[in-house]
Amino acid sequence: MIRLGMFLLAWVALGAIAPRAWAENPADCRVAENLIEADFPLPHVVQALARKKLDVLVVGAGSSILPGPNGALTAYPARLQSALKEKLPGMAVTLATDVKLRRTAAEMVDSMPAAVAANRPALVVWQTGTVDAMLGIDSDDFSAALNKGVDIVHHAGADIILVNSQYSPRTDSMIALSAYLDDMRWVALQQEIPLLDRFAIMKLWTELGTFDFHSATNKLDIAERVHDCIGRLLADVVVEATKPAKPLPITDGR
């Protein structure tokens, strides 16, 4: 189990994926747009946008980073920052990261108060779940850690978006992720916060042939493109969640 866990953590960190086809147009990412949900508002982000300054903190584990000299620039946190600047012209967008390998949700929660206090973000993006699943952390303990982390962020005066695990058919049969995915959806619903369902998005990509996650070839350039897609879709969640709620349709009472 330990050797399997170490192998899988290395796979996640390296982003071992290869494409069947990739067009230069980033619209290829958007075949999963229908899975983007922004049902809950981000009030602190709205206030930050009014001040023309948005500070973001990404908290995560191995699948939030990429190796290599340009890894920090090509992983999804940096791509999120770039996409937000593109979507919000005239906005000063800064992004900090608290990202380390092999951390459970509870371990991230332990470092979260200091990271939030140091960066004072209006928005925290929290990626978690994979390491807990690999280690078989009790589902109730995982949910408790999620709720505690969300409460820390809210009490600090910031909004939060959850990001769940990556999908890969090569590891899907080796890691029992379903309970942790369900826990994250339930916590997001209870806490009324957005969730980027990265697992469902990546599963749809492989079903549609956008990316071939069955390949055993490790290609960092392709991993970078997937991270770029995730960054763009995260930016969509942020922007959509800051738009005014649509008025309910007027009926004649029938």
CA–CA separation, 119 and 185 (whole Å): 27
Task: Tell me how long the chain is.
Answer: 254
| 148 class by beta-carbon count within 10 Å (0-12 exposed, 13-18 middle, 19+ buried) | middle
CA–CA separation, 136 and 130 (whole Å): 10
- Predicted local confidence at residue 218, as pLDDT: 53
CA–CA separation, 193 and 13 (whole Å): 27
Question: What's the pLDDT tens digit per position in 34-54?
Answer: 788 778 999 999 999 999 999
Domain boundaries, the chain: 2-15+38-241
Tally DSSP H helices, then E strands, for the chain.
Answer: 11, 5
Check if the beta carbon of residue 171 is closer than 8 Å to that of residue 11.
yes
Is it the case that residue 212 has pLDDT exceeding 80?
no
Q: Where are the alpha helices (DSSP H) in the chain?
A: 2-14, 43-50, 71-74, 76-87, 105-119, 130-135, 139-155, 169-172, 178-191, 198-208, 220-241
Check if the beta carbon of residue 141 is closer than 8 Å to that of residue 104.
no
User: For the ranges 40-44, 218-222, 249-253, which has the lowest average pLDDT?
Assistant: 249-253
What is the mean predicted confidence (pLDDT) over 17-39? 60
Strand-pairing partners, residue 92, are: 53
Pairing mode, strands 92-99 and 53-60: parallel
Looking at domain 2-15+38-241, what is its CATH homologous superfamily?
A: SGNH hydrolase (3.40.50.1110)
Find the farthest-apart pair of alpha carbons in the chain and give their distance in angstroms, rounded.
64
Question: What's the pLDDT tens digit per position in 107-150?
Answer: 999 999 999 999 999 999 999 999 999 999 999 999 999 999 99
